[in-house]
Each structure stands twice: as C-alpha cells, then as structure tokens.
Copies of this chain bind each other. A is one copy, B any other.
Amino acid sequence: ATPLFYKMAVDEPYMLDAPTLAERDQQTKRAEAITNASPMRLRMEKFIKEQQVEIVRALEAIDGTKFRVDEWQRKEGGGGITCVLQEGKVFEKAGAGISAVYGTLPKAAILKMRANHKNLVNGANEIPESIEFFAAGLSLICHPRNPMAPTIHLNYRYFETANPDGSSGAWWFGGGSDLTPNYLFEEDAILFHKSLKDTCDAHNKEFYPKFKKWCDEYFYNKHRRESRGIGGIFFDDLDETTADKESLFAFIQESLKSFVPTYTTIMNKRKDMPFTEKEKEWQQIRRGRYVEFNLVHDRGTAFGLNTPGPRVESILMSMPLTATWKYMYEPEPGSREEKLEKVLREPKEWV
C-alpha cells in the first residue's frame, strides 16, 4: 500500500451497507432534540454531560477556583470532556470526566461478556466475529487539601451493543461511589452511606446490602490487607434481569445526583478544620495507598491503560497531586490513625 492509497483508505472508508451506530447517533443528534423517546445511549450521554456541569459548578463554588476543561475525540469513535481543578484552595486535585465512545468488540471479548449477558448475541446461532458497542460514563474524584476532609470517588456508566440489523442488543448499567477518609468522622460515614442507602431503597431494598458488600470486596487493597476507604456502593451488569431500563436509568440518575448535596455537606464541615503537620503526613501516606490500589488492583485503570491509544491523562486524573511512601510506618497505638486502620481492616455497617 502506497502512502496515497493509505490516505484514501483513511479519508474515504469503505461504507458498509448499514451506517454504523456512531453514524446513526450523529444523525439523530443533528436531526432532533434528545427526549425520553430517544435511544438510551443519547439520553445517558446527555445526562452525564449535564451532571458534569452541575458537579463542576458545585466544586468550583466550594473551592473558589475554576476547572480546566479539555474536550477530546477518539480516533476510533466518540470522545469525552475532562475537567480538572489542580492546586486549588480546598482541593489538591479534583477531576470530573465524561466519555461516550463507540467501538467494536472482538470475538474473544464477546465470549467473555456472554457469561454475564445472555442476550449479547441475541439468540444468534453463531457468535459473530465482532459486535458494535457504545459505552458512556462519568467519573469523578476529589482529593482535598485538608487531611480531615475525605477523598471521594464515583463512576456511573452505561454499556450497549448493537444487533447486526441496527437495533439495540444487550445493555447494562454499572457504577458506584466510595469514600476514603484519612481520619474517621463517624457522622460523615453515616451520612454518606445513608444517602446511598436511601437512593437504593427507593428502587429496591436488596440493592444497598448487595452493593455495599460488592464495594467492600472491590475496593480492597489485597496486598495491604485493608480496604481503600470506608466503602459505599459498587455494582455492574445491571440489566433487564434486575429491572427494566427506565427504572435502572432512574436509579443511576438519582445516585449520581445525590453526590453534590452529600459531599458539599461533608466538605463544609471539614475543609477548614485545623490540622498538624503529622496529620498532613498521614494523609500523604494514605494517598500512597490510594495510588497502590488504583495502579495494582483497579480493573478500570488497568483496562484503560491497556486499551489501544488511551488518553492516559484522563485515566490517571485519579492520581493524587502528591503521595508518600514511608518504610515501616506504623500508627501509634490508640491514635486516630490506628483507629482508621482498624476500620479499613474490618468493614463496618454504617446504617
């Protein structure tokens, strides 16, 4: 292939009989407003975009510093917006990113995913060589300056595949939110868990206990034999076997919307508390453990970094601004630092 032929192949791709999922969605977005009758892909994308604006506005109000906003496109289809506030007055680093991407799942991935999603190939007799997919999500992380204020993380996402005839194939929601304090304030832990439990309970009484346990199991820093933080909720693969799409979307929406009031309440109490140098040091050690979890155990990070052509800066916006590793650091017996470690070693029921 000569360079000329290569250029032609890139600029004028061979068109399949049917337009791709990305092309059809682009067409819909140009032609009409997104309503409750639109495909869930576009509704989810619209929702997380709006929420990103809300969240950025709320965090800017707490900090008094503006976020930097980067829009990016993915060569393979779709793109995202990464908003980061760095070295603010209240936050060392806060990041809120959304992405909505299109792609194709190779056969190996289809075979793996089919274990959890029976209708992934929609009753076809043969596994196809590839399936088109759409994935959209919002990720958020806040690392405050004050060691009394907790780090928070959340992620809500939607995944959908396309059938060969262009109709929607399998779909599911995933997500969750977890809190990582350096010092334990029981009232914060209770407020955080209660807010998540209330949202869960309004949809399904089984959600909170199940998702709380899932969260404790997922955010576990195995090599340290301790949890990353005091948990929250975590779930994946929520599809029609759990509830209908509308109900699950409502659940996702309310879960995500509960972030701003809850975290604002906690931050208002903690952001200006006095602290010592030793407490700041402990925060930095806990940040090191956060880095360890994200780089060693987090499947989302590993998946992101191993994707072809990843936007590394968006994936690693979860890294704290600074972190410390001290050899053989041991909290003093009876100290507040030791009290936190105990809670991390044995997850508690907070509500």
A residues whose Cβ falls under 8 Å from a Cβ of B: 68, 70, 84, 86, 93, 95, 222-224, 284, 288, 291-292, 295-296, 302, 305-306, 310, 312-313, 316-317, 319-328
Contact A327 B296 (CB under 8 A): no
A309 CA to B328 CA in the complex, in Å?
Answer: 16
A84 CA to B329 CA in the complex, in Å?
Answer: 12
Q: Given A223-B312, A305-B223, A313-B328, is A322 in contact with B323 using a C-beta cutoff of 8 Å?
A: yes
Contact of A328 among B70, B222, B284, B305 (CB under 8 A): B70
Contact of A321 among B70, B292, B296, B324 (CB under 8 A): B324
Minimum Cβ distance to chain B for residue A195 (Å):
29
Contact A327 B93 (CB under 8 A): yes
> In the complex, which residues of chain B have a beta carbon less than 8 angstroms from the beta carbon of A325?
93, 316, 319-322
A265 CA to B292 CA in the complex, in Å?
Answer: 34
- Nearest B residue to A302 via CB reads B296
Contact B327 A68 (CB under 8 A): yes
Residue of A84, A95, A322 with highest tally of chain B CB at under 10 A: A322
> In the complex, which residues of chain B have a beta carbon less than 8 angstroms from the beta carbon of A93?
325, 327
- Nearest B residue to A292 via CB reads B295
Contact of A95 among B84, B284, B292, B327 (CB under 8 A): B327
Q: Given A93-B327, A296-B305, A326-B86, is A224 in contact with B321 using a C-beta cutoff of 8 Å?
A: no
> In the complex, which residues of chain B have a beta carbon less than 8 angstroms from the beta carbon of A224?
312
User: Which 5 A-B residue pairings sit nearest by Cβ, starting from the closest?
Assistant: A319-B325, A295-B295, A223-B305, A84-B327, A295-B296
Minimum Cβ distance to chain B for residue A228 (Å):
14
A263 CA to B346 CA in the complex, in Å?
Answer: 45
Contact A322 B86 (CB under 8 A): no
Residue of A222, A310, A325 with highest tally of chain B CB at under 10 A: A325
Contact B310 A327 (CB under 8 A): no
A320 CA to B325 CA in the complex, in Å?
Answer: 6
Minimum Cβ distance to chain B for residue A106 (Å):
20
> In the complex, which residues of chain B have a beta carbon less than 8 angstroms from the beta carbon of A295?
291-292, 295-296
Contact A327 B291 (CB under 8 A): no
A327 CA to B223 CA in the complex, in Å?
Answer: 28
Contact A322 B324 (CB under 8 A): yes
Contact A319 B68 (CB under 8 A): no
Minimum Cβ distance to chain B for residue A161 (Å):
27
- Nearest B residue to A317 via CB reads B327
